[in-house]
């Protein structure tokens, strides 16, 4: 037996939070990930950077892989002695053909583990506000395949028993057979006024729910052109949805929001959007990188000469202290410098490191910062600004004008990250993005340069997309570059930006 290992992992129904801890570990340690259409791509962000990704779902540019071909791909990779994670929508053993894949692995003498997942059969109803059981309605439910032709002679489904045996019936893969399923149920004794719900792309921002009864659901589904992937829920519990549809009632439900920040910083905004029911699409136009430390090292070697150290960003703080520790400089050597923290997050991070800032400007614009520092600085005072390589020059220039000697040093680098540009363009073209957020001028610039389109194409891509900016400087950069800003945050922070997104999507 080789050292190859296969994890058959349930990815859950779509909401990337609905994967198990063990499933996530399998994604992280995988050398190869083989995934299909129903496994949310966002889960792949957790994979290691050099992972090999193999998509085996439907795709417009090639034929759909057969199960035999998929099996072969798994076996081949495992035989290369790799750790393979086979990621499947929902649970691998609920109509997921996970059993067959496991058997093939066994035949080929390949080690495997099964990591169960949250099946769509239970979680999709839950996100539509439908509990599959409820003491007042039913104490049983059945999960049934809907892709078997109910009129087939040797149908493995005994409709005479299924129709009335359980309170709740959940059909997967049943949309194309909906009329036949409805007919079989009513012909076999299920009352035609039984409530029915169809839920498409459940647990995702695109979740759509249609309700009716066995009597009218076929007609309604036709009128609404209701398509796959969807589940069919039959039973009285469907009525509870009116009260319990918590997910669709969230403030950002259905919104797909582009978050253009660095990889390290994006998660804060992304998390907030997710908590409000929206789907963040993290577009890491910037990634933070280690700089050439020459300037910062020089500043650190003479750290006791500075009267002020002005931190203008979270990353400035992080890299400054990281370098100090690396060089073996004790934090107490900062005792004589006054500290200015721009922005609440920067202040928080300093506080965590035991430093209470001496000055925190009320607003986060260079002009305001200078206003406040004016009276606190004497001519000839040395000031250190540990900042990004692309930071604007307005702050150091204005401080120099006050007579200060300013060392504006590069503490970290903002580098472009273009891996996801293609995917983002696709989403914009398909009209899948509803809101675009910008948190700084550089995020606007990079966003545009990475999309790499003409002015007209840009207008077209952003047609119907609402744009939210964190503050006036970012907004004016956007406008200069041909991006119309729909709303600007009142408070120039992430919280302010989230508030702006909320208000614009509720219009």
* Annotated catalytic residue 173: yes
Alpha carbons 15 and 124: distance in angstroms, whole number? 10
Quote helix, strand, coil % in the chain, to nearest 5: 40, 20, 40
CB of 409 to ligand SAH, least distance (A): 50
Distance CA 487, CA 213 (A): 42
Q: According to the binding rule CB under 6 A, does residue 39 interact with ligand SAH? A: no
Task: Give the residue, chosen from 110, 132, 185, 231, that forms a contact with ligand SAH under the rule CB under 6 A.
Answer: 231
| Residue 36 bears catalytic tag | yes
DSSP code for 246: T
- Cβ at position 84, least distance to ligand SAH in Å: 18
Residue 209 in contact with ligand SAH, rule: CB under 6 A:
no
Of the two residues 144 and 473, which places its CB atom closer to ligand SAH in the complex? Answer: 144
SS3 296: helix
In the bound state with ligand SAH, the residue whose beta carbon lies nearer, of 173 and 416, is 173
Does 203 interact with ligand SAH (rule: CB under 6 A)?
yes
Compute the C-alpha angle 492/497/500, nearest 5°. 115
- Our finding on whether 119 is near ligand SAH (CB under 6 A) is yes
Cα gap 507→498, rounded to integer Å: 15
Distances 231 to 74, 148, 226, 450 between C-alpha atoms, Å: 28, 14, 11, 38
Find the shortest distance in angstroms from Cβ 307 to ligand SAH. Answer: 59
Out of 11, 172, 196, 485, the residue judged to bind ligand SAH by CB under 6 A: 172
The angle at the Cα of 61, spanning 58 to 64, to the nearest 5 degrees, equals 30
Binding residue (CB under 6 A) for ligand SAH from 8, 9, 94, 269: 94
Distance CA 279, CA 397 (A): 40
Q: Of the listed pieces 75-83, 118-126, 340-348, 473-481, which binds ligand SAH according to CB under 6 A? A: 118-126
End-to-end CA distance of the chain: 61
Total residues in contact with ligand SAH, by rule CB under 6 A: 25
Helix (H, G, I), strand (E, B) or coil at 354: coil
Stretch touching ligand SAH by CB under 6 A, among 73-81, 159-167, 193-201, 283-291: 193-201
398 near ligand SAH, rule: CB under 6 A: no
Q: Is there binding between residue 124 and ligand SAH (CB under 6 A)?
A: yes
Sequence-ordered list of residues with C-beta below 8 angstroms from that of 391, at least 6 positions apart, any chain? 312, 385, 408
Question: With binding defined as CB under 6 A, does residue 38 bind ligand SAH?
Answer: yes
Task: Say if CB 472 and CB 455 are below 8 A apart.
Answer: no
Beta-ladder partners of 466:
435
**91 in contact with ligand SAH (CB under 6 A):** yes
Among 151, 155, 160, 228, contact with ligand SAH (rule: CB under 6 A): 228
Task: Say which of 22, 79, 173, 382 is annotated catalytic.
Answer: 173
Is 382 assigned a catalytic role?
A: no
- Name the residue with tokens 């080789």: 2
Site stretch for ligand SAH (CB under 6 A), options 198-206, 238-246, 404-412, 483-491: 198-206
Pure H helices in 230-374:
241-244, 263-275, 294-301, 314-326, 344-352, 366-373
Quick one: 4 or 89, whose CB is closer to ligand SAH? 89
Distances (CA, A) of 347 to 256, 375, 409, 411: 30, 21, 20, 17
Catalytic site residue from 5, 15, 36, 338: 36
Q: Could you write out the three-class secondary structure of 196-222?
A: EEEEECCCCCCCEEEEEECCCHHHHHH
What minimum distance in Å lies between the beta carbon of 232 and ligand SAH?
8
Q: Which residue is nearest to ligand SAH (CB)?
A: 90
Piece of the chain touching ligand SAH by CB under 6 A; list 93-101, 148-156, 319-327, 356-364: 93-101
Q: Hey, which residues are catalytic here? A: 36, 58, 173
Which residues of the shown chain bind ligand SAH in the complex (CB under 6 A)?
Answer: 13-14, 38, 88-91, 94-96, 119-121, 124, 172-173, 199-203, 228-231
């Amino acid at each position: 037996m080789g050292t190859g290992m296969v994890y058959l992992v349930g990815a859950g129904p779509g909401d990337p939070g609905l994967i198990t801890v063990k499933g996530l570990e399998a994604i992280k340690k995988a050398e190869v990930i083989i995934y299909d259409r129903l496994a949310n791509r966002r889960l792949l962000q957790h994979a290691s950077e050099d992972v090999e990704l193999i998509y085996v779902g439907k795709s417009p540019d090639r034929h759909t892989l057969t199960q035999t071909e998929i099996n072969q791909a798994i076996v081949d990779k495992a035989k290369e002695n790799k750790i393979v994670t086979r990621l499947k929508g929902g649970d691998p053993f609920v109509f997921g053909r996970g059993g067959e894949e496991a058997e093939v692995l066994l035949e080929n003498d390949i080690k495997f583990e099964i990591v169960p997942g949250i099946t769509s059969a239970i979680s999709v109803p839950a996100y539509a506000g439908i509990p599959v059981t409820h003491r007042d309605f039913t104490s049983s439910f059945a999960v049934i395949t809907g892709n078997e032709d109910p009129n087939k002679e040797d149908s493995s489904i005994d409709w005479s028993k299924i129709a009335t045996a359980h309170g709740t019936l959940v059909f997967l893969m049943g949309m194309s057979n909906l009329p036949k399923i409805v007919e079989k149920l009513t012909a076999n004794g299920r009352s035609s006024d039984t409530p029915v719900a169809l839920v498409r792309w459940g647990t995702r921002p695109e979740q759509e729910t249609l309700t009716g009864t066995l009597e009218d659901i076929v007609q309604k589904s036709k009128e609404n052109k209701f398509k796959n992937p969807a589940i069919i829920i039959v039973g009285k519990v469907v009525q509870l949805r009116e009260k319990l549809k918590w997910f669709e009632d969230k403030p950002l439900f259905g919104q797909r929001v582009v978050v253009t920040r660095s990889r390290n910083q994006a998660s804060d905004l992304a998390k907030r959007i997710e908590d409000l029911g929206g789907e963040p699409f993290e577009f890491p136009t910037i990634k933070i990188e280690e700089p050439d430390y020459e300037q910062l090292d020089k500043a650190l070697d003479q750290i006791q000469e500075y009267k002020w150290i002005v931190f203008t960003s979270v990353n400035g703080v992080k890299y400054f202290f990281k370098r100090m520790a690396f060089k073996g400089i004790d934090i107490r050597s900062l005792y004589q410098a006054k500290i200015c923290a721009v922005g609440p997050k920067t202040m928080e991070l300093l506080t965590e490191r035991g430093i209470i800032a001496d000055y925190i400007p009320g607003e986060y614009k260079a002009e305001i910062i200078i206003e406040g520092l004016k009276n606190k600085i004497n001519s000839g005072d040395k000031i250190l600004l540990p900042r990004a390589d692309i930071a604007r020059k307005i702050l150091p220039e204005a401080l120099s004008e006050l007579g200060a000697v300013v060392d504006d040093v590069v503490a970290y680098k903002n580098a472009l990250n273009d891996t996801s540009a293609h995917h983002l363009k696709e989403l914009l073209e398909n009209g899948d993005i509803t809101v675009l957020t910008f948190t700084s001028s550089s995020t606007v610039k990079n966003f545009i340069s990475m999309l790499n389109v003409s002015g007209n194409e840009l207008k077209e891509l952003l047609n119907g997309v609402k744009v939210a900016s964190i503050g006036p400087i970012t907004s004016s950069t956007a406008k200069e570059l041909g991006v119309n800003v729909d709303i600007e945050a009142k408070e120039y922070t992430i919280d302010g930006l989230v508030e702006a997104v909320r208000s614009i999507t509720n219009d």
